[in-house]
Each structure stands twice: as structure tokens, then as C-alpha cells.
């Protein structure tokens, strides 16, 4: 994979092209979903091991992007890993130890919704680790990722970058939305005030871990729809795959009743409400 830092020079500049219309997004996403299914079958067929890391600021759109990727594929192949805060036992382990068991085996695509880079991001900014621990992590992780890649894993690392204005708009929208309030934790509120601390942490992380074997790819995400399409397209472009031949599917003839009679069991059907039709 070749490095492409053209879009990373001005991290907080507006996303080009304007807001994407919903119909255009849905049409393009449907085409990309077809390609993701082709990729899925190829991963199984060839026993590929794919690991995709998503990082970025709070509200940058990581969760929505991951949902867009996994919406039409099998969760047995595309596995999402979103680890909770470490237990006391895990805190005593080697830092990367709890992430290693989640790496992909043959025929799997593992997506990390935040990853080992917590050490250089939220843990550093919020004081959950020392500067010395962060320094040791940033020194060690390129070698660990090289070992991962040399073991046959295709490793893709994405950073979603959102502008401060758009982040504010999204976080404020969560406050009064019962569907999204769970996304606004006390930690998110503390993190929000430390924009430039996160910028410095991000910059240090890029300098230390943007390597030829595991480069960082940056996606501007002020327009979430456009960012999702860009990331999925990039993902597909960076994993070589082919469409496998499949016989045309035809449903077989359904068996006859052979004496079966409808059951008189008192099934407990759920209530069917009169929902609005238009």
C-alpha cells in the first residue's frame, strides 16, 4: 500500500464537494455493499486475514462507518471488536496483551472500533497513563504492527477527522436525542474541552506510527455519508480480491404436506399495532 498524505496536510479544513444527497449516497452504498460481499467470499475462499483499525475524535463518525461496512455482510466473517475499559487484571498485563487475541484468523475481517491506540489518545490526554508509558508504547507499536503484517495480516488504519464546529454540532445533538444519549458519556464531556491536547496526541501518534508497512489513512468526516463512501472505496481498493463464480440460484420445489395439518397450538402472537402507512 502506498502512502497518501495529501489529505492529511490540513487536518481541519472543510470536506470538499459539499453535502452528499441521500439518494446518491444510498445508490452508491448499495453498489459498494455488493463489492463488500464479493470481498467477503474471497476472504473466505483464500483464507485472508484482514484487520481494520478505526480511530478519531469523539463524534467523528467511526460507529456509523463501521455499521455501513458491516450492514450487508456476515458477522461471522466481519467481526467488530469494541473493548470496554480494562479490568484490574488487564491493567496488570502487558498493554497490547488484551488486543492480540482479537486479531483475525484465516477467513476473517476484524474491525477495531478504537484499538490499542487508546494508549496514545484518550489514556494519554485524560491522564490514565503516564507520559513514559505513552512514549514506550509509541516506540514499540511499529515493531508489533510489523510482526502482525509479516504474519500475513492485511492491516488498514483509518483516522476520521472532524472539524471542531461539526463535532460540537453532533455532540449537542446527542443531548436531547434518546437514541444517541448513550453515546455521550462523562468521559466524552471531559474530552470535548481538550481539543488541542488531542491534536497534539494525534500528531505524535502519526509521527511515530505512520510506517510503510502500516500507514495511517485520514478521512475528513464532516459529511458522514461522503466519508463512509470514501472509506469503503479505499478499503476495497487496498485489498486485492476477485469475484468468485457462483452457479445461478434457483429455489428447489417445496415438498407437499404429506398429511400435515395446521397446528391448533395457542401461539402467543405479539400485538399488531396500526402504524401510520404514509
**Taking 80 as the threshold, does the pLDDT of residue 152 lie above it?**
yes
Determine the average pLDDT of the residues in 12-17: 56
Q: How many CB atoms neighbour CB 137 within 10 A?
A: 23
Q: Is 256 part of a structural domain of the chain?
A: no
Residue 90 falls inside a structural domain = yes
In a domain, 126, yes or no: yes
Average pLDDT of the chain is 92
Domain count, the chain: 1
Does residue 145 form part of some domain? yes
Rounded to whole angstroms, how far apart are CA atoms 222 and 117?
Answer: 22
Contact 124, 201 (CB under 8 A): yes
**How many other C-beta atoms are found inside a 10 Å radius of the C-beta of residue 79?**
16
Host domain of residue 120: 31-238
pLDDT in tens, 169-224: 999 988 888 888 888 888 778 888 999 999 999 999 999 999 999 999 999 999 99
Residue 14 has pLDDT above 60, yes or no: no
Render pLDDT for 238-269 as a digit per residue (tens, 0 to 9).
999 999 998 899 999 999 999 999 999 999 99
Q: Percent of the chain having pLDDT more than 90?
A: 82
Is 259 part of any domain? no
Tell me the per-residue pLDDT of 81-120, one tens digit each, with 9 for 90 and over: 999 989 999 999 999 999 999 999 999 999 999 999 999 9
pTM, rounded to two decimals: 0.88
CATH number at residue 123: 3.40.50.300
Amino acid at each position: 500500500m502506498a502512502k497518501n498524505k495529501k489529505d492529511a496536510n490540513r487536518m481541519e479544513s472543510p470536506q470538499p464537494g459539499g453535502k452528499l444527497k441521500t439518494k446518491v449516497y444510498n445508490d452508491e452504498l448499495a453498489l459498494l455493499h455488493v463489492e463488500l460481499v464479493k470481498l467477503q467470499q474471497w476472504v473466505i475462499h483464500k483464507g485472508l486475514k484482514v484487520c481494520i483499525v478505526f480511530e478519531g475524535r469523539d463524534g467523528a463518525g467511526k460507529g456509523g462507518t463501521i455499521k455501513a461496512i458491516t450492514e450487508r455482510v456476515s458477522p461471522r466473517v466481519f467481526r467488530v471488536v469494541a473493548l470496554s475499559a480494562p479490568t484490574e487484571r488487564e491493567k496488570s498485563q502487558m498493554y497490547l496483551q488484551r488486543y492480540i487475541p482479537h486479531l483475525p484468523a484465516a477467513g476473517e475481517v476484524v474491525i477495531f472500533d478504537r484499538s490499542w491506540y487508546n494508549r496514545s489518545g484518550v489514556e494519554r490526554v485524560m491522564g490514565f497513563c503516564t507520559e513514559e508509558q505513552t512514549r514506550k508504547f509509541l516506540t514499540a507499536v511499529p515493531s508489533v504492527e510489523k510482526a502482525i503484517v509479516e504474519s500475513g495480516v492485511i492491516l488498514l488504519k483509518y483516522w476520521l477527522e472532524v472539524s471542531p464546529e461539526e463535532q460540537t454540532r453532533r455532540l449537542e445533538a446527542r443531548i436531547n436525542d434518546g437514541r444517541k444519549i448513550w453515546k455521550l458519556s462523562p468521559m466524552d464531556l471531559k474530552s470535548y474541552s481538550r481539543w488541542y491536547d488531542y491534536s497534539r496526541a494525534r500528531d505524535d501518534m502519526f509521527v511515530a506510527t505512520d510506517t510503510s508497512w502500516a500507514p495511517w489513512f485520514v478521512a475528513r468526516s464532516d459529511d458522514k455519508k461522503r466519508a463512509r463512501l470514501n472509506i469503503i472505496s479505499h478499503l476495497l481498493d487496498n485489498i486485492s480480491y476477485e469475484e468468485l463464480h457462483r452457479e445461478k440460484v434457483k429455489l428447489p420445489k417445496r415438498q407437499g404436506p404429506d398429511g400435515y395439518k395446521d397446528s391448533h397450538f395457542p401461539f402467543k402472537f405479539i400485538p399488531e399495532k396500526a402504524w401510520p402507512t404514509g
